[in-house]
Chain A
Amino acid sequence: MSDRLKVALIGNPNTGKTSLFNILTGLNQKVGNYPGITVDKKVGTTKLSAKVKADVIDLPGSYSLNPSSLDEDIAVKVLSDKQNANYPNVVVVVADVENLKRNLLLYTQVKDLGIPTILAINMEDQMKARGITIDTETLEKDLETKIALISSKRNKGIYKLKELILNYQQLSLEPCFKSFESLLDKRDDQAKQQKHRETIKRYQFLTSVLNKSYGIDKSQVKDLRSRLDAVLTHHIAGYIIFFAILFFIFQGLFSWTEGPMDFIDASFASLSEWIKNILPDGAFTNLLAEGVIPGIGGVVIFIPQIAFLFLFLSVLEESGYMSRVVFLMDRVMKKYGLSGKSVVPLISGTACAIPAIMAARNIESWKERLITILVTPFTTCSARIPVYAIIISLVIPNESVLGGLINLQGLTLMLLYLLGFATAIFAAYILDKVLKIQSKSYFVIEMPDYKLPLLKNVFYHVVEKTKAFVFEAGKIILAISILLWVLASYGPGEGFNNAEEIVKKEYAELPSDELQTKIASYKLENSYIGILGKSIEPIIRPLGYDWKIGIALITSFAAREVFVGTLATIYSVGSEEEISIKNKMKKEVHPTTMKPVYNFASGISLLLFYAFAMQCMSTVAIVKRETNSWKWPMIQLVGMTIFAYVSALAAFQFLK
């Protein structure tokens, strides 16, 4: 590893730096974490020549080495510390040919650090269309470097770039500016003044350099931007198009993923069945078939939705449209302590909070980002749907009102979606008032040119994000599902161990398959988790629930959708057909009040509880990862649970 070359790529956002990284490394790339922080570290290997390989590290897109976000901080840490494990032998600054001056600002800063620096000027293919001319030789001399004109889109100039990297030892180490003291880690107002003056000097230098070697004929520019912007950021049409795109994404997310998700579900079920058949009976087989495999299945089943979501988001991002959405929505979101950039996570949250929370990274203000992360789980994610569906069908009459115009059950579901959004916005508003975090919202967003997304970049993006979800969240989901299986499969004392004899004695006359399900439910009642359910009964009784619902609350703590499955087992319904669970649930009578367990009051109470409670281990895990502390996920978990409890309590006590 150490005798290999280390190459770092750095550049402004939207310069095609990631495309270059993809070209150099192909699928030989992986995403890791920098120690102690949550910013993704992308590294890969490339072949520079027949003999020499290099490790390439893709530093996060930065406008300068004066970090203003977590991502930009990394570049500084890596490049300014020779002891850093990622400290490179050579840096390639990727610059956009069209906005060369601004891109070169970063170049001069990197050069000043005394690392061999190569300048890769990207989008060479655009030069002609934009009327740009560059005198490379003069520019190389003035900047004391070597330049490769490349096109990451058309895969041009890569060979030349690799050659320059190989010969990095010939590069000059002279800084562009000798007089600047290092301000990299100073952030007070005085340092800012100095950085301001420094930036002006750098620009003056670059202006004089570029006057000699860079020409642009502005009359050549055909303005696709202004024509598209006129429509896409229009004060009426802009919103209509945005909501149309949203609608399209939701349609895709739910209807196109249904097939693959059903297929995965069925496959894992038959895999469990198969394992049970081929392996000898025993605890290990059961753990595998009832704990591990369904656990993995519970992760894998979300892959289609997550991959689709990232596909859409990546296309919107790459095309430059996302910046326009942020621009359109910022004013509205700002009122509630959020940023225009919070729109993406809030929308994504209706599929799944996990990728949604990851999408909050673009928000530069820590406070706005944190609030976004904390409120996103209120949006109605797809895991709530099975829970909502069964409870609504039990307690809301299937009737139409207003002359058949509105179906009450459908109306309830829609209200629950709206409730999710409204609560998220309301919670953001409260958090904005409560959180005492000093973080000036320096909202600056570049409005990049519109361009057709590169298929390759979209593909890599989807693969990378999906992998991150599967492995990061997967580990936790798997662990919890194994734990739940253990708690549900073992129990202390007589009741659990002799379940079979006890049930057989009591229900001797039952046919054998019904007897089996009776035994199973008796076992569950006396298992550790059953005991847990009973022990929390006093707490949940005021909400209108019994101990069986208590068990479902505990098991669905890991993932909401487990609720229905657990009740299915508890009410000893062999098949998972909803109609039969529903009938069983309908017949359930509360032992003390003799009223149905699922009545209007307890039903509404349950709906509210599931709307507000965190009830998702994977979200806890991802919030821990994204905020890099246990503090925020715990606050979120406790806060949401209390809010859910109080709302459910109020609803039940008021309605009963």
Chain B
Amino acid sequence: MSLTIADLLKGEKAIIKHFVAKNIPLKLIEMGCIEGNSVELVQRAPLKDPLYLNINGTYLAIRKEIAAQISIEKL
């Protein structure tokens, strides 16, 4: 199993590698979650969920279950 956004530690950056479009909200894709874009874990909420991300300059939060659908390559 490859690494996903859910595996990122606070402050870590990575490149988005792959995801299956039907498993994640289209809104997320439109906000810049696209293969090749950078992603940084800004912060985790207290109970480890949701995740506060910086995707290519857009700051947003998503739930862990979605984050686990998006595989990455750490920088």
Instruction: Spell out A's residues near B (CB within 8 Å).
Output: 63-64, 66, 68, 98-99, 101-102, 105, 189, 192-193, 195-196, 199-200, 203, 225-226, 229, 233, 235, 238-239, 323, 326-328, 330-332, 334, 340, 440-449
Contact = CB atoms under 8 A, between A and B. Distances in A.
Interface residues of B, number: 31
B50 A63 contact: no
Nearest to B26: A66
Contacts of B26: 64, 66, 68, 192, 195-196, 199
Given A68-B25, A332-B47, A447 B61 contact: yes
Given A68-B27, A444-B60, 19 more contacts: A66-B26, A98-B57, A101-B32, A101-B57, A102-B32, A189-B22, A199-B26, A235-B46, A326-B61, A328-B45, A328-B46, A331-B46, A331-B47, A331-B50, A332-B47, A442-B24, A442-B25, A442-B27, A443-B50
A296 to B, nearest CB: 43
A275 B5 CA distance: 69
B9 interface: no
B12 interface: no
A39 to B, nearest CB: 17
Contacts of B70: none
B27 to A, nearest CB: 5
B29 A199 contact: yes
Contacts of A199: 26, 29-30, 34
Given A64-B30, A192-B22, A193-B22, A200 B45 contact: no
Interface string B42-72: 1101111110100011111111001000000
Contacts of A64: 26-27, 30
Lowest 7 A-B CB distances belong to which pairs? A442-B25, A196-B21, A235-B46, A447-B59, A331-B47, A189-B22, A64-B30
Contacts of B46: 235, 238-239, 328, 331
A388 B53 CA distance: 46
Contacts of B57: 98-99, 101-102
A327 B50 contact: yes
Contacts of B45: 233, 327-328, 330-331
Contacts of A238: 46
18 contacts: A63-B30, A66-B26, A68-B26, A101-B32, A102-B58, A192-B21, A193-B21, A195-B21, A195-B26, A199-B26, A199-B30, A200-B34, A328-B45, A330-B45, A440-B25, A444-B25, A444-B28, A447-B52
A330 B66 CA distance: 14
Contacts of A195: 21, 26, 29
A334 B63 contact: yes
Contacts of A229: 42-43, 52
A331 B46 CA distance: 9
B9 to A, nearest CB: 15
Contact of B59 (A66, A442, A448): A448
Contacts of A68: 25-27
Contacts of A449: 59
Contacts of A102: 30-32, 56-58
A445 B53 CA distance: 10
B21 A327 contact: no
B18 to A, nearest CB: 12
B40 to A, nearest CB: 11
Contact of A340 (B30, B42, B48, B50): B50
A448 B61 CA distance: 10
Given A63-B30, A189-B22, A238-B46, A327 B61 contact: yes
B62 A444 contact: yes
Contacts of A445: 60-61
Contacts of A448: 59
A225 B27 contact: no
B25 A327 contact: no
A99 B54 CA distance: 12
Nearest to A203: B34
Contacts of B35: 200
Contacts of A331: 45-50
Contacts of B63: 330, 334, 441, 443
A323 B60 CA distance: 9
Contacts of B30: 63-64, 66, 102, 105, 199
Contacts of B50: 327, 330-331, 340, 443
Nearest to A216: B57
A442 B66 contact: yes
B42 to A, nearest CB: 7
B58 to A, nearest CB: 6
A535 B21 CA distance: 61
A204 B66 CA distance: 24
Given A195-B26, A334-B63, A233 B31 contact: no
A225 to B, nearest CB: 7
